[in-house]
Structure 1
Amino acid sequence: MKPIALKGHERAITQIKYNREGDLLFSVAKDSVVNVWYSANGERLGSYDGHNGAVWCVDCNWDTTNVMTGSADNSCRLWDCETSKQLALLETSTVVRTCGFDFSGNVIMFSTDRQMGYESYLNFFDLRDPQQVKDNKPYLSIPCTGDLGLSKSKVTSAVWGPPLSSDEFVITGHENGEINQFSAKSGQLLKSAKETEHTKQINDLQSSVDLTMVISASKDNTAKLFDSTTLERIRTFKTDRPVNSAAISPTMDHVVMGGGQDASEVTTTSTRIGKFEARFFHAASEEEFGRVKGHFGPINCVAFHPEGKSYSSGGEDGYIRSHYFDPQYFALQLDA
């Protein structure tokens, strides 16, 4: 696989996200830049300018009309995808760590960090009510820490659950390894995975293409596959390094994981020393069957193309590497 290298950031990539069709790839980084690329050839289409701090999260709605970003400048911003015009500015007391559109694109959620005396909150806005955005008052704000908190630690990652559920919910990963379900209507804690599932911080949560499964990536050197509705663990993938991100293939029984030792702890003169490869596992056997080198630092985020024909990774080195699979990759699946 010969990668396409996308260079549009000066600092570490924090998240990458394909739109539903897969023709666009959004990227955010610690340099406050929000970029959008053509996934087919790596050409940069444009950027969304406005943040003045590290941008931690990005998402786009179902029909790719709006883009949402969350930043360390204590704001969550809504953009027009085509024109890059800022549509809304939601100011917060602390860093916005995660964000996402629900299936309809009408409701957004984002979480804030616990810092400077403020607790971690999970906030929900209904975009059909302009007054909520104008007043900067969510229709629901769930405390995740503190005396009234429904969790023991702050939210570090979050995704929406399946849209056909009777009570629409968000799945959250936490600093202490918890994985929870919160109702987007009542704010009630619906379900919680056992605290022993992960012993350290959840770095990333990603859903399968049909939203029925979610995969967690943790500092405890594992990634785990869960049923989105029941939070029952389906598979465990073990490595010898912290896992920063994991993604589920939409067409194969495969998962890809990225991570590596922290850049401050190892030399970056060799991609092998810090173990910075992307690693592929079979979802049924839990066995590793491939590795892809390239980054000169830890891989912070990975994502599969919605059609399963490629995957991309974003690293501490500021590069995004997009790999289109060779025919042998698909033949491997047939033989498995």
Structure 2
Amino acid sequence: MRPILLQGHERSLTQIKFNVEGDLLFTCSKDNFINVWFSHNGERLGTYAGNNGSVWTLDVDPESRFMISGAADNTLRLWAVSTGKCLYTWEFPTAVKRVAFNEEGTQVVCITEQRMGHQCAIRVFNINKDGDGTNQSKEPLYMFNPIGSKATVCAFTLTPNVIITGHESGKVALFNVKSGEEIDNNERAHSDVVTDLQLSKDRTYCITSSKDKAARIHDTKNLMVIKTYNTETPLNSASLAPNRPYILLGGGQEAMNVTTTSARQGKFETRFWHKVFEEEIGRVKGHFGPINTIAVHPGGTCYASGGEDGFVRVHHFDDSYFRSKPYGDMEIMD
């Protein structure tokens, strides 16, 4: 699997995302820029410039028409994917750490930081798709402050007005965004901060990664832990491979300790685990620092990883990956 190396950022990557079709790959980093690339050959299509701080998070709507981003300059921005124009900017008292579209692309949820006397807040905005997209409501549709540990990651579930969140304490919870009420929680989902949360294609389950060196699959309806993958390194990201029973984990030691460890000891590999048997089945090396974010192509043909070293590596799976028969002679499609 010869990787395509994407060199478009000067600082460490924060999040990478494929669009629904998988032909575009969006990357954001601490260098204030968002890039978009063709996933099949790694050619850069364009750059979204305008943020005055690290871009922490992004998401793309199902039609690949709008992109939303959250940054350290305390803004949530709506972009036109095709032109790179910033259509609308929402401003907050603190940094935006996570954003996510709902399944239809009509609403956006965002988490703002707990800082300088401001509580962690979760806001939901309606996205007005009429016209060119510049006519947006400044006020959130719903807003609430999760009580207790601050939220770090979030996503819409299949149930209307219900979001799933991961927290600094390791808790995973379900919230009703209308009332701000916590419907259900699993306090002991992880024992350290939840670093990533990615949903399955049908949104019935999700995978979380944590600094407690474990990744877990949860049912999004009742938060039951279905599978656990224990590693020996803090994890920053976890992703599900469609059509195959594998999950991909990325992490590594904290960036500040990296100089004291060799690449092998630092565990800077993408790890493949068997989803059902909870066994590690392979590793892919490459990054010169912790892996901060992983995304798998929606068609399951390739995956991309973004590291602390500022590089994005796109790996297209070999024929042997598709020829292997993890289910025997059965073909199972997600």
Q: 1:272 aligns to what? A: 264
Q: Aligned partners of 2:273, 2:18: CA distance in 1, in Å?
A: 21
Q: Deviations over 1:54-75 (max 9, x none)?
A: 0000000010000000000000
Kindly indicate whether the alpha-carbon contact (under 8 Å) linking 2:126 and 2:137 is maintained by their aligned counterparts in 1. no
Q: Is contact 2:145–2:180 with CA below 8 Å preserved after alignment?
A: no
**Deviation readout 1:120-177 (Å, 9 max, x if unpaired):** 00001112399x9766221211102xxxx2xx11111111112xx2x33111111111
The answer to whether residue 215 in structure 2 is matched with residue 202 in structure 1 is no
Q: Per the alignment, do residues 268 and 35 of structure 1 end up closer, same or farther by CA in structure 2, a change over 3 Å counting?
A: farther
The superposition leaves residues 11-54 of structure 1 with CA deviations (integer Å, 9 ceiling, x where unpaired) of 00000000000000000001111010000000010011110100
- Residue 161 of structure 1: aligned partner: 157
Identity of aligned residues (%): 44
Distance apart, 1:238 and its partner CA: 0.5
2:258 partner SS: coil
How big is each residue's C-alpha offset from its partner over 1:235-284, in whole Å with a ceiling of 9 and x where there is no partner? 00010000100001111111000000012113278421311000000011
Q: Name structure 1 gaps, 5 residues minimum.
A: none
| Matched residue, 1:141 | 143
Aligned 8 A contact 1:12 1:318 in 2: yes
Give the equivalent residue in structure 2 for 1:287.
Answer: 279
How many positions carry a matched residue from both structures? 326
Q: Give the ranges of 4+ consecutive aligned residues of structure 1 lying more than 6 Å apart after TM superposition.
A: none
Partner of 1:26: 26
> Is 1:192–2:188 an aligned residue pair?
no
Looking at structure 2, the residues matched to 280 and 334 of structure 1 have their Cα atoms a distance apart, in angstroms, of 14
Q: Is the 8 A contact 1:268 1:296 kept in 2?
A: no
Match of residue 107 from structure 1: 107
CA distance in 2, matches of 1:301, 1:282: 19
Task: Give the Cα separation in 2 of the matches to 1:158 and 1:82.
Answer: 26
Tell me the TM-score normalised to structure 1 length. Answer: 0.93
Task: Name the amino acid aligned to 1:322.
Answer: V
Aligned pairs (5 A) from 1:102-251: 102-128=102-128, 136-144=138-146, 149=147, 152-162=148-158, 165=159, 167-193=160-186, 195-251=187-243
Could you say what secondary structure the match of 2:324 adopts? helix
**Long gaps (5+) in structure 2:** 329-334
Alpha-carbon distance in 1 for matches of 2:2, 2:70: 32
Structure 2: distance between partners of 1:56 and 1:266: 21
Q: Which amino acid aligns with 1:186?
A: S
> What CA distance in whole angstroms lies between the structure 2 residues aligned with 1:117 and 1:249?
40
Asked whether the equivalents of residues 266 and 273 of structure 1 are also in contact (C-alpha less than 8 Å), the reply is no
User: Which residue does the alignment assign to 1:255?
Assistant: 247
Query: Are residues 306 and 135 of structure 1, via their aligned partners in 2, closer, same or farther at CA, if it must alter by over 3 Å?
Result: closer
For residues 129 and 320 of structure 2, the distance between their equivalents in structure 1, rounded to whole angstroms, comes to 50
Change (3 A) 1:50 1:101: same
Query: Do the aligned partners of 1:271 and 1:294 also contact (CA within 8 Å) in 2?
Result: no
> What is the TM-score with the length of structure 2 in the denominator?
0.94
- Show the counterpart of 1:49: 49
SS of equivalent to 2:326 = helix
What are the superposed Cα offsets for residues 221-248 of structure 1, whole Å, 9 maximum, x if unpaired?
A: 0000011111111000010000100001
Q: Is the 8 A contact 2:127 2:136 kept in 1?
A: no
Instruction: Please name the residue that 1:79 is paired with.
Output: 79
Alpha-carbon distance between aligned partners in 1 of 2:128 and 2:49, rounded to the nearest angstrom: 25
CA contact (8 A) 1:183 1:189 kept: yes
Following the alignment from structure 2 to structure 1, what is the Cα–Cα distance between the partners of residues 42 and 184?
40
- C-alpha distance in 1 between matches for 2:324 and 2:106: 41
Aligned partner of 2:221: which letter?
T
Root-mean-square deviation (CA, aligned residues, Å) is 1.8
Cα deviation, 1:270-306, whole Å, max 9, x if unaligned, reads: 4213110000000110000000000000000001100
